[in-house]
Amino acid sequence: MFLVLCYGPEAENMTRFPEEVLTRTKKGEVEVRSLIDRGRYVRYHYLHPETGEPMEGGKIKLVLLAEDGRTEEYFIIPMKSKRDLLIPAMEKGPRMLWDGSRAVGL
């Protein structure tokens, strides 16, 4: 076990965490990696219906599906700088996707 020591008013909230969940920041401060949720994900992109080529500059949709049924959706947009921009998207609900041979659900 690792003991996180605090001084002052924070000392009342002293907590123990297993060593394997602790990490250090670049500044040397100790942080605890804490799970928000877990689940699965679906990524898809948009193709031109006649050519089958990617549309809209290579935009990708990322749908996070939590075990409790909640979903979060994001667009991943490639930038010229070789980095990607992650933008929250409105939840669209159930939909069908093309897997290369047939329509499948999320």
In total, how many domains does the chain have? 2
- Given this model, what pLDDT does residue 24 score? 94
Q: Are residues 64 and 101 in the same domain?
A: yes
Find the domain containing 10 and state its range: 2-32
Coil/strand/helix, residue 60: strand
Same domain, residue pair 18 and 44: no
| CA-based nearest residue to 33, from 14, 42, 20 | 20
Q: Give the pTM.
A: 0.73
Q: Are residues 13 and 63 in the same domain?
A: no
Shared domain check, 82 and 61: yes
Return the pLDDT at 21. Answer: 93
Residue 72 has pLDDT above 70, yes or no: yes
Instruction: Give per-residue burial for 61-99: e unless 16+ CB within 10 Å, then b.
Output: bebeeeeeeebebbebeeeeeeeeeeeeeeeeeeeeeee
Read off the pLDDT of residues 15-71 as tens digits, 9 standing for 90 and up.
689 999 999 999 999 999 999 999 999 999 999 999 988 887 889 999 999 999 899
